[in-house]
Amino acid sequence: MKRNILLTLCLVLGTVSLLAQQVKSPNGNVELKFSLDGTRPTYEMSYKGKTVIKPSHLGLELAKDKHASRKYKETDLMDGFTVVDIKTSTFDETWKPVWGETATIRNHYNELAVTLQQKERTIVLRFRVYDDGIGFRYEFPQQKDLNYFIIKEEMTEFAMTGDHTAWWLPGDYDTQEQETQQTRLSEIRGRMKEAVNWGNSSVAVFSDTGVQTALQMKTDDGLYINIHEAACLDYATMHLELVDAKTTALTTKLQGNSNVYTPNPAPSAYPLPAPMTFVSHLTPDATGLKGAMQTPCETPWRTVMVSDDARDMLSSNLILNLNEPCKIEDTSWIHPTKYCGVWWEMIVGKSSWHYTNDFPSIKLDQIDWRSVKPNGYHAANNEKVKRYIDFAAKNGLDEVLVEGWNVGWEDWANMWKRDVFDFVTPYPDFDIKMLNDYARSKGVKILMHHETSSSTQNYERHLENAFKLMNKYGYDAVKTGYVGDIIPRGDHHFSQSMNNHYLYVIKEAAKHHIMVNSHEATRPTGICRTYPNLVGGESARGTEYEAFGGSRPDHTCILPFTRLQGGPMDYTPGIFVTKLSTWSDNPSWARITLAGSLALYLTMYSPLQMAADLPENYEQFDDAFQFIRDVACDWDDSKYLEAEPADYITVARKAKGTDNWFIGGKCDENGHLAVVKLDFLDKGRKYDCTLYADAKDAHYEKNPQAYTITKKVVKKGDVIKVKEAPGGGFAVSLIAK
Amino acid sequence: MKRNILLTLCLVLGTVSLLAQQVKSPNGNVELKFSLDGTRPTYEMSYKGKTVIKPSHLGLELAKDKHASRKYKETDLMDGFTVVDIKTSTFDETWKPVWGETATIRNHYNELAVTLQQKERTIVLRFRVYDDGIGFRYEFPQQKDLNYFIIKEEMTEFAMTGDHTAWWLPGDYDTQEQETQQTRLSEIRGRMKEAVNWGNSSVAVFSDTGVQTALQMKTDDGLYINIHEAACLDYATMHLELVDAKTTALTTKLQGNSNVYTPNPAPSAYPLPAPMTFVSHLTPDATGLKGAMQTPCETPWRTVMVSDDARDMLSSNLILNLNEPCKIEDTSWIHPTKYCGVWWEMIVGKSSWHYTNDFPSIKLDQIDWRSVKPNGYHAANNEKVKRYIDFAAKNGLDEVLVEGWNVGWEDWANMWKRDVFDFVTPYPDFDIKMLNDYARSKGVKILMHHETSSSTQNYERHLENAFKLMNKYGYDAVKTGYVGDIIPRGDHHFSQSMNNHYLYVIKEAAKHHIMVNSHEATRPTGICRTYPNLVGGESARGTEYEAFGGSRPDHTCILPFTRLQGGPMDYTPGIFVTKLSTWSDNPSWARITLAGSLALYLTMYSPLQMAADLPENYEQFDDAFQFIRDVACDWDDSKYLEAEPADYITVARKAKGTDNWFIGGKCDENGHLAVVKLDFLDKGRKYDCTLYADAKDAHYEKNPQAYTITKKVVKKGDVIKVKEAPGGGFAVSLIAK
What is the Cα–Cα distance from A427 to A423, expressed in whole angstroms? Answer: 11
What is the Cα–Cα distance from B83 to B64, expressed in whole angstroms? Answer: 26
Q: How confident is the model at residue B177 (pLDDT cuts 50, 70, 90)?
A: very high
In chain A, residues with a C-beta closer than 8 Å to the C-beta of B203 are none
* DSSP H or E run through B394: helix B382-395
pLDDT in tens, B437-458: 999 999 999 999 999 999 999 9
Q: In A529-671, at which residue ranges do the beta strands (DSSP E only) sit?
A: 534-537, 608-610, 635-644, 648-655, 661-667
Higher pLDDT, A7 or A686: A686
Length of chain A: 737
Q: How confident is the model at residue A11 (pLDDT cuts 50, 70, 90)?
A: very low
Express as a percent the part of chain A with pLDDT over 70. 93
Do the Cβ atoms of B287 and A415 come within 8 Å? Answer: no
Closest CA to A553 of A650, A667, A645, A674: A667
Cα first-last separation, chain B: 32
Any idea which of A69-78, A557-566, B259-268 has the lowest mean pLDDT?
B259-268
Arithmetic mean of pLDDT, B329-357: 98
pLDDT of residue A16: 36
* Catalytic, out of A61, A399, A544, A669: A544
What is the Cα–Cα distance from A381 to B713, expressed in whole angstroms? Answer: 78
Arithmetic mean of pLDDT, A564-569: 98
Whether B620 and chain A come into contact, CB under 8 Å, resolves to no
Q: Can you say how many angstroms the Cα of residue A92 is from the centroid of all Cα atoms in its chain?
A: 26
Q: What is the 3-state secondary structure (H, E, C) of B671-710?
A: CEEEEEECCCCCCCCEEEEEEEEECCCCECCCECCCEEEE
Question: Looking at CA atoms only, how far is residue A376 from chain B in angstroms?
Answer: 22
pLDDT of residue B11: 33
pLDDT in tens, B571-624: 999 999 999 999 999 999 999 999 999 999 999 999 999 999 999 999 999 999
Q: A409-423 burial, b for 16+ CB within 10 Å, e for fewer? A: bbbbbbbbbbbbbbb
Q: Identify the residue among B201, B264, B453, B489 best suited for mutation to test binding to A, counting A beta carbons within 10 A and taking the highest.
A: B489
| Mutual angle of helices B456-473 and B432-441, in 10-degree steps | 50
Residue of A nearest to B460 (CA): A461
Alpha helices in B166-233, H assignment, sequence order: 188-195
Bond into A488 cis (ω within 30):
yes
pLDDT of residue B371: 95
Whether B72 and chain A come into contact, CB under 8 Å, resolves to no
Of B286, B417, B489, the CB nearest to A294: B417
pLDDT of residue B2: 38
Closest CA to B178 of B164, B193, B190: B193
Residue of A nearest to B501 (CA): A457
pLDDT in tens, B5-36: 333 333 333 333 345 499 999 999 999 999 99
pLDDT of residue B13: 34
pLDDT of residue A13: 35
Asked if the model's pLDDT at residue A263 lies above 80, the reply is no
Asked if the model's pLDDT at residue B327 lies above 50, the reply is yes
| Mutual angle of helices B456-473 and B496-511, in 10-degree steps | 20
Asked if the model's pLDDT at residue A319 lies above 80, the reply is yes
Whether A261 and chain B come into contact, CB under 8 Å, resolves to yes
Residues 120-149 of B with CB under 8 A from A: 142-144, 147-148
Q: How confident is the model at residue B112 (pLDDT cuts 50, 70, 90)?
A: very high
What is the Cα–Cα distance from A487 to B174, expressed in whole angstroms? Answer: 20
Whether A488 and chain B come into contact, CB under 8 Å, resolves to yes
Closest CA to A118 of A22, A40, A16, A33: A40
Closest CA to A36 of A118, A109, A111, A151: A118
What is the Cα–Cα distance from B450 to B404, expressed in whole angstroms? Answer: 9
Whether B372 and chain A come into contact, CB under 8 Å, resolves to no
Cβ neighbors of B417 (< 8 A, separation 6 or more) are: A148, A292, A294, B361, B411, B453, B455
Q: How confident is the model at residue B63 (pLDDT cuts 50, 70, 90)?
A: confident
Of B144, B259, B363, the CB nearest to A65: B259
Bond into A97 cis (ω within 30):
no
Q: State the amino acid at position B307 in one-letter form.
A: S
pLDDT of residue B273: 96
Q: What's the mean per-residue pLDDT of chain B?
A: 93
A215-to-A30, A60, A378, B269 alpha-carbon distances in Å: 19, 22, 40, 46
pLDDT of residue A63: 84
Question: Is A544 tagged catalytic?
Answer: yes
In chain B, residues with a C-beta closer than 8 Å to the C-beta of A142 are 359-361
pLDDT of residue B70: 53
What is the Cα–Cα distance from A529 to A365, expressed in whole angstroms? Answer: 40
In chain A, residues with a C-beta closer than 8 Å to the C-beta of B361 are 142, 147-148, 294-295
Bond into A141 cis (ω within 30):
no
pLDDT of residue A71: 52
Q: Using only C-alpha atoms, what is the Rg of chain A?
A: 25
Do the Cβ atoms of A67 and B415 come within 8 Å? Answer: yes
Q: Using only C-alpha atoms, what is the Rg of chain B?
A: 25
Instruction: Please count the other Cβ atoms lying within 10 Å of the Cβ belonging to residue B103.
Output: 16
Q: What's the mean per-residue pLDDT of chain A?
A: 93
Higher pLDDT, A339 or B149: A339
What is the Cα–Cα distance from A404 to A257, expressed in whole angstroms? Answer: 28
**pTM score over 0.90:** yes
B49 by DSSP, 3-state: which? coil
What is the Cα–Cα distance from A157 to A173, expressed in whole angstroms? Answer: 20
Asked if the model's pLDDT at residue A728 lies above 50, the reply is yes
Contact status, residue B614 vs residue B344, Cβ threshold 8 Å: yes
Task: Label the pairing between strands A277-282 and A238-243.
Answer: antiparallel
pLDDT in tens, A341-352: 999 999 999 999
Asked if the model's pLDDT at residue B184 lies above 60, the reply is yes
Q: B680-717 burial, b for 16+ CB within 10 Å, e for fewer? A: bbeeeeebebbbbbbbeebbbbebbbbbeeeeeebeee
pLDDT of residue A1: 35
What is the Cα–Cα distance from B551 to B394, expressed in whole angstroms? Answer: 32
Question: Looking at CA atoms only, how far is residue A641 from chain B in angstroms?
Answer: 46
Closest CA to B602 of B650, B647, B555: B650
In chain A, residues with a C-beta closer than 8 Å to the C-beta of B414 are 66-67
pLDDT in tens, B286-296: 888 899 999 99
Task: Label the pairing between strands A477-481 and A445-451.
Answer: parallel
Output the CA torsion sign for B421, B423, B427, B428. negative
Contact status, residue B686 vs residue B714, Cβ threshold 8 Å: yes
* Catalytic, out of B101, B154, B410, B544: B544
Question: Looking at CA atoms only, how far is residue A295 from chain B in angstroms?
Answer: 8
What is the Cα–Cα distance from A225 to A238, expressed in whole angstroms? Answer: 17
CB pairs under 8 A between A and B: 131
Contact status, residue A355 vs residue A375, Cβ threshold 8 Å: yes
What is the Cα–Cα distance from A675 to A468, expressed in whole angstroms? Answer: 51
What is the Cα–Cα distance from B394 to A310, expressed in whole angstroms? Answer: 81
Contact status, residue B338 vs residue B609, Cβ threshold 8 Å: yes
Task: Label the pairing between strands A210-211 and A238-243.
Answer: antiparallel
pLDDT of residue B668: 98
Arithmetic mean of pLDDT, A542-570: 97
B44 by DSSP, 3-state: which? strand
Whether A166 and chain B come into contact, CB under 8 Å, resolves to no
Of B66, B285, B414, the CB nearest to A259: B66
Do the Cβ atoms of A490 and B361 come within 8 Å? Answer: no
Cβ neighbors of A384 (< 8 A, separation 6 or more) are: A342
Length of chain B: 737
pLDDT of residue A528: 98
Asked if the model's pLDDT at residue A318 lies above 80, the reply is yes
Contact status, residue B374 vs residue B420, Cβ threshold 8 Å: no
Cα first-last separation, chain A: 32
Closest CA to B596 of B706, B689, B712, B676: B706
Asked if the model's pLDDT at residue A311 lies above 90, the reply is yes
What is the Cα–Cα distance from A150 to A26, expressed in whole angstroms? Answer: 37
Arithmetic mean of pLDDT, A21-30: 97
- Tell me how many degrees the CA angle B581-B586-B588 measures, rounded to the nearest 5: 85
| Mutual angle of helices A496-511 and A456-473, in 10-degree steps | 20
What is the Cα–Cα distance from A153 to A228, expressed in whole angstroms? Answer: 17
In chain B, residues with a C-beta closer than 8 Å to the C-beta of A260 are 287
User: Tell me, what DSSP letter sits at residue A624?
Assistant: H
pLDDT of residue A264: 63
B193-to-A165, B197, B558, B698 alpha-carbon distances in Å: 59, 8, 21, 34
pLDDT of residue B260: 53
